[in-house]
Amino acid sequence: MGLIVQKYGGSSVADATCLFRVANRIKSYYDKGDSLVVVVSAQGDTTDDLLEKAAEINKNPSKREMDVLLSSGEQISMSLLAMALEKLGCPVISLTGWQAGISTSARHSNARIGSIQTDRILRELDQKRIVIVAGFQGIDRYDDITTLGRGGSDTSAVALAAALHADKCQIYTDVKGVYTADPRIVPDAAKLEDISYDEMLELSSLGANVLHNRSVEVGKKFNVKMEVLSSFVDEPGTEVKEVSKVEKMIVRGVARDNEVARISLKDVGDVPGKAFTVFSILAQKNINVDIILQSLGRDGKRDISFTVSESALDAALQVLEENRDVIGAAEVLHDSDVSKVSIVGAGMVSNPGVAANMFEALYNANINIKMISTSEIKVSVLVARNEGDAAVRAIHEKFNLSNI
C-alpha cells in the first residue's frame, strides 16, 4: 500500500476499450489499498483534430488561445476515464490542471511547472477517491490556462509525484519499457530492468522517444522513483532511478536520431570570440546546437561545424545568412541527410576503450563517421542517414546488448 502516480498517454486512452483497460488496471491497484493519482493525456487523435480546427481559422493564432483550445483535450479524456471508473464502481474525481493546483510560468505552449498546491488532491485522496488529473496543463499567475509543450503529461506526472511524495511514478505507454535499442531497428534488443536518470536523460534526448527529457530532469531533481511500462500488457517495465544496480553493463543502450542536420561554416576567421559570435546569434533565436566541431586553424582561417535539429535548420540558415558579415564565413554548407547514433552508459567513464569499440564496429560495417562528440556517459557519431540503422545494429551487436 502506498501512493502511486500513474500516467497514461494518448494511445492508452484512445477509445472506450482502451479506457476500460486502463480503468481496470487502476482499479486493481485501488483494490489492493493503494492511493492513486492518475495523469492522462488527450485521447489519440484529439490534439491533431483540434490543431486542424485551429488551422482552418488562423494559421498563426496566439499561443494563449491555442493553450485554451488544446487543454480541452485532457478535460475530455479525464472525465471519460472517471466515468469508466464510476462504471467499475470506484469512487473517483477528475481535476483539471488549475483544480489540481498546478501553477506554471506564463510562457504559453511551453510553460514550466513552478509549484503544485496539493490541498485539493490530498483532500480527495483522504476521502478514498481515485484522483484523475489532466496532464500537459496548468495555470499561470494571471489565472490563464497554459500547456507544457511536448511530452508535458510525463512532466505533470513526475512533478505531481514529487509534490505528493509519492512512492512511485508509473509512466504507462505503448512500449514495454526502455530497450537497449529501438526494437524496430534491432529486433533482438533487450528491455532494461533499470536505468539511471542520467543515462535516461541522454537516451531520451538522443531520440529514444520513451520519456520526455523534462520529466526525467524533474525526477532526478526530486529523486522520484519512476517506471516506464506498457498499458497493454501486465508485466514489469523499466525503473528509472538514481543509481542503476546493473553496474556490470558498460553500455546501456544505442539510440538513433534522424531529426538532425549539420551546418558547416567554411573559412571563418581564426580569431578569438568567433565561436561565441556564431552560437550567441543562434541562441538568440532559440536554436539549440548539439555536436560542435571546430577544425584547427590554417592560414588564419578555420571551419566550424555543428548540428541542429532538422526542424530548426531553415531558421538557423536564415539567421546565419542575415549575420553573414559579422560571422565572415566564406561559405555556409548544410546537410540534413544525416543520422546521429549514440551509445549511453554510466559505465563508460571508468572503462576506457568504449568509444574505440564503437568506432571499430562502424569501421567493420564500412560506415563512415562524419562527426564525433563525447561526454562522460555517451559517445555520439554523425553518419549518413541511410546508414543510421545499420550503425545501430553493428554497435548493438558489438557490445552484445541482446544478452544483458
Contact residues for its own copies (CB under 8 A)? 16, 19-20, 50, 53-54, 56-58, 61-62, 64-66, 68-69, 71-72, 75-76, 78-80, 82-84, 86-87, 93-94, 96, 98-99, 120, 143-145
Cell, residue 395: 554497435
CB nearer to its own copies: give 62 or 284: 62
CB nearer to its own copies: give 20 or 222: 20
CB nearer to its own copies: give 98 or 306: 98
CB nearer to its own copies: give 99 or 213: 99
Q: Work out how close the CB of 43 gets to its own copies at its nearest, in angstroms, rounded to a whole number.
A: 9
CB nearer to its own copies: give 120 or 385: 120
Q: Work out how close the CB of 107 gets to its own copies at its nearest, in angstroms, rounded to a whole number.
A: 17
Q: Work out how close the CB of 50 gets to its own copies at its nearest, in angstroms, rounded to a whole number.
A: 7
Q: Work out how close the CB of 64 gets to its own copies at its nearest, in angstroms, rounded to a whole number.
A: 7
Q: Work out how close the CB of 303 gets to its own copies at its nearest, in angstroms, rounded to a whole number.
A: 44
Q: Work out how close the CB of 134 gets to its own copies at its nearest, in angstroms, rounded to a whole number.
A: 9
CB nearer to its own copies: give 94 or 305: 94
Q: State the amino acid at position 392 in one-letter form.
A: V
